[in-house]
Amino acid sequence: YASHLKTIVKGCVDFGFLVRNPFSNFKLKDTEVKKEFLVEYEISLLINTEIQKVRLSEVRDIFVFCCFTGLSYSDVKSLNPSDIEKDIQVDWISKCRKKTGGEFRIPLLKKVIRDILYKYKDHPECINSNILLPVLSNQKMNKYLKEIALICGIKKHLTTHIARHTFATLFLEKGVTLSSVQKFLGHKSIKTTQ
């Protein structure tokens, strides 16, 4: 917050709205943020735990889908049938990131991904909105992910964004290069991926 405020105040000084910058001698301290991600065992727990409530089951499926595709919340929410490219050997998700406009192309290698897409192909919301998955609001998704973590016995604070961290970590652990992961995630800069 302080970083954004400092930028705005600097702009105010540049445009003459303020005489001097009260942040001119203020130095921000970088605090290292620990990025959470799930390991394969935790993903297996998610996939294999029986969840009775339909709304929780749907959120779990979408989260697992994102763990294996690296899609962000906004990209999975807008995913539609035209984003799937059919190929002889493997289908691909091919689209531009909503946030940055960076292009990405992700292979649908895992059976669980294809099973999830198949499961929701006749879902009324998907048919009516021409989307592939019935994604709720980000706030509801994150709220339900907390419930899902409790049901599955996962002690991490699950959010929709953790799926992207999980995807990147899984692929790097499997020997995929950082530049390939960058392309899958749709990052314009490799520094973002690092």
Q: Check pLDDT > 80 for residue 132.
A: yes
pLDDT attached to residue 167: 87
Q: Check pLDDT > 80 for residue 180.
A: no
Task: Over range 19-47, report the average pLDDT.
Answer: 86
**What's the rounded Cα separation, in Å, for the pair 16 and 10?**
10
pLDDT attached to residue 66: 94
pLDDT attached to residue 139: 96
pLDDT attached to residue 74: 93
Mean pLDDT over the full length of the chain: 89
CA distances (Å), origin 10, targets 1, 13, 175: 14, 5, 44
Q: Do 161 and 72 touch, CB atoms closer than 8 A? A: yes
Task: Over range 31-60, report the average pLDDT.
Answer: 91
> E-strand spans in 12-155?
84-85, 92-96, 103-107
Q: Check pLDDT > 80 for residue 101.
A: no
**What's the rounded Cα separation, in Å, for the pair 92 and 107?**
4
pLDDT band at 47 (very low <50, low <70, confident <90, very high): very high
pLDDT band at 173 (very low <50, low <70, confident <90, very high): confident
Here the tokens at position 189 are 């800069």
Q: Do 66 and 124 touch, CB atoms closer than 8 A? A: no
Task: Over range 128-144, report the average pLDDT.
Answer: 96
Nearest one of 126, 71, 117 to 96, comparing CA atoms: 71
**What's the rounded Cα separation, in Å, for the pair 117 and 62?**
9
Q: Which residue has the higher pLDDT, 133 or 23?
A: 133
Nearest one of 83, 79, 50 to 65, comparing CA atoms: 79
Round the CA-based radius of gyration of the chain to a whole number and report it: 20
Here the tokens at position 91 are 């289908």
- Average the pLDDT over each of 28-37, 56-65, 80-89, 121-130 and give the range with the smallest value: 28-37
Q: Check pLDDT > 90 for residue 104.
A: no
